[in-house]
Every structure is written in structure tokens, then in C-alpha cells.
Amino acid sequence: MIIYIVRRILLVIPNIVILTLLLFYGVTGLLGDPTTMMLGEDASPEAIADLTAQYGFDRPFYEQYLNWLWNAIQGDFGRSFTTQQSVADAVLPRIPVSLELAGLAILVSTVGATVINSIPVFKRGFTALSTTLSVIGITVPNFMLGISLIYFFSVELGWLPTTGWTDWSDGVWNHIVHMSMPVLTLSAFYYGSFSLVYRAEFHAVQKQLFIRVARAKGLGEAKVAFTHVLPNSILPVITYMGLSLGQLTGGAVVTETVFSMPGIGRLFVQSITSHDFPIMLAISMIIIIGVVLMNLVADILYSIVNPQIRLG
């Protein structure tokens, strides 16, 4: 097990280097001249040349990349072009907000998909409910779902606040109430996707011999579903969960924007509109590392649940 984990970690390092290299080239090389974007099209050539030298944009690409990567490893992402604030000071306080949103969305969608889609085995009336929720989650875009939830629960009923986050210091219940709609919005699509994967595997496992033996012993359908079928059906969900983390990041950006949450997703949108390259690079690097590490965690979890993986 230890050898498998070490091997997986060693494979992560070159992946991060390659992805950050492509990221740096994409942001600094394809989006246009950063000095022109900062100073405007009417800036004098002298001002552009001075700013180019100040930020090192006149140096070779590989030198710029290595310098940026080395500073980033040490936690120095530079300063924002628009506010001159330290990038670390602007980004780091927002990370817990996005992590909480993404973590709760994954938890709600995974638990909901496995539990709700296991109930119809012994409660036939839940079949229509689980199917309807899956269809809504997959077909309705999360921005439209978020706006619909705001209109229904906040504007019409007045039950929930329109904004999506308050600090824990303002009260646990108040924090939960503010987070409820953003979490439901972000988890809806993943609930639908996980449900399709889980349901297909669930029906396949039900046909296995050991399930028929469990029923022959007189075990109730609920016990068979949750203690025998569910653990053997969740492996594809774990795999798909790891593959969906990149999409989850994109969904979090939209969700944070819709609910005005102070997370890195909303800051990323603001940095794109203002062409703030240091902020864009920092957030993109954090997202890349987060997705790669979460895929690593998914692989390790998969190997724990299915030992044949680490023996392969």
C-alpha cells in the first residue's frame, strides 16, 4: 500500500509542472501583451517599455516561467496589477469559502446519489423521485437553478437569504442557512451524474450470486441494499468523483458569482475582466494543484476499497 501511494505521488509532480507550464504560457502568451492591457492602448511606448522591464516581461519565456514558479513555491505570487495588493493576501482568505462549498457539494451529491438511489429497492415509490431529481440535476444549468432557487425561496417565500455566505462567527445556524442554496445548486449536477453511474452498477451488483444468497438467508431488502449492494456499487462513483473535480471547479465559479460568495471563483471572474494576470495565475495554479491532489486522494480511496487496484 505504501509503495502504491509513493508511486502515485511521484507521478503527480511532473503532471503539476507540465500543467503549470501550459497555464503560464496560456495566460502570458495567448491573452495579449499584459503591459498594454494594464496601461491601455493609448499608452506611450516609453511607459510600456518601462513597465515591461519592471515586471520582467522582456526576459525569455522559460526564465519568466521558472522565476514565477520558484516564487510561487515559496508563496510569493507577486502583486495584483489592479490593486497592487499582495496576491497571497487577496487569494488566501477566500480559499476556505471555496473549499467549504466544493466539499459540501461533493458530500451532498455522493451521499444523496448512493442513499436515494438505494431506497427504491425496498420502497418502490421512491423510483420516480430519484429519477426526477437525477434528470433535473443533469439538464438544468447550475446558474439557472441558482437563480430559480433565489427567486422561489428568497423572493417569493422569504425563507432563505439571497447571498451565499456568512462567517461562522455570525452563528452556526445562520451560516448553514446562507450556504444551503449554493450547496444545493452546485451539487445538483453531480448528484444526477453520480446517480446514473451508481444506479447502473447497483442493478448489476444485485444480480450477483452473493446478493441472492443474502436474500435466501432471510435478510430484509433494506439491509441487503445498504450493507451488501451499496459498498460494492460505490467504486465507479469514487472514480467518477475524481474525474469530475475539474468540472466542479467551473461550477463553483458560476455558483459563487450567482450567490455573491467571497470565494476564489468569484475573484477569478473579476481578475479575468480586469486582466489581472498575477491573480489569474495564482488561482489557476491553486485549482490545478487541488484537482491533481483530489484525484490522487480518489485513487488512494479506490485502492483501499478495492485492493486489486494497488496490486495491478
**What cell does 307 get?**
485492493
CB atoms within 10 A of CB 264: 30
- Residue 23 is given by DSSP the state H
Three-class SS of 83-118: CCCEHHHHHHHHHHHHHHHHHHHHHHHHHHHHHHCC
Report the candidate in 240, 228, 227, 237 with the shortest Cα–Cα distance to residue 199.
237
Q: At what angle do helices 235-243 and 277-305 cross, to 10 degrees?
A: 170
Q: Compute φ and ψ for 130, nearest 5 degrees.
A: -65, -40
What pLDDT does 274 receive? 78
* Domain range list for the chain: 95-258+300-305
Mean pLDDT of successive 10-residue stretches along the chain, which has 312 residues: 71 81 75 64 69 70 81 81 82 86 86 79 67 82 84 84 76 85 87 82 78 76 74 75 69 82 84 81 83 75 60 50
What pLDDT does 214 receive? 76
Query: What does the alpha-carbon distance between residue 113 and residue 20 come to, in Å, rounded to a whole number?
Result: 34
SS3 252: helix
**What cell does 105 get?**
457539494
- Residue 79 is given by DSSP the state B
**What cell does 97 get?**
469559502
- Look at the block and give the residue holding cell 461550477: 251
What pLDDT does 123 receive? 63
Q: At what angle do helices 2-30 and 61-73 cross, to 10 degrees?
A: 130
What pLDDT does 288 receive? 81
CB under 8 Å, gap of 24 or more: what pairs does 23-31 form?
23/281, 23/284, 23/285, 23/288, 24/64, 24/65, 24/68, 24/69, 24/281, 25/61, 25/65, 27/277, 27/280, 27/281, 27/284, 28/57, 28/61, 28/64, 28/277, 29/61, 31/275, 31/277
Query: What does the alpha-carbon distance between residue 143 and residue 122 come to, in Å, rounded to a whole number?
Result: 35
What pLDDT does 146 receive? 85
Evaluate whether 259 touches 182 at the Cβ level (below 8 Å). yes
* Predicted structure pTM score: 0.74
Query: What does the alpha-carbon distance between residue 83 and residue 80 come to, in Å, rounded to a whole number?
Result: 6
Evaluate whether 251 touches 186 at the Cβ level (below 8 Å). yes
Radius of gyration for the alpha carbons in the chain, expressed in angstroms and rounded: 24
CA dihedral 197, 199, 204, 207 (to 10 degrees): 170
Superfamily of domain 95-258+300-305: MetI-like (1.10.3720.10)
- Residue 140 is given by DSSP the state S
**What cell does 16 get?**
503539476
Query: What does the alpha-carbon distance between residue 283 and residue 269 come to, in Å, rounded to a whole number?
Result: 10
Evaluate whether 174 touches 165 at the Cβ level (below 8 Å). no
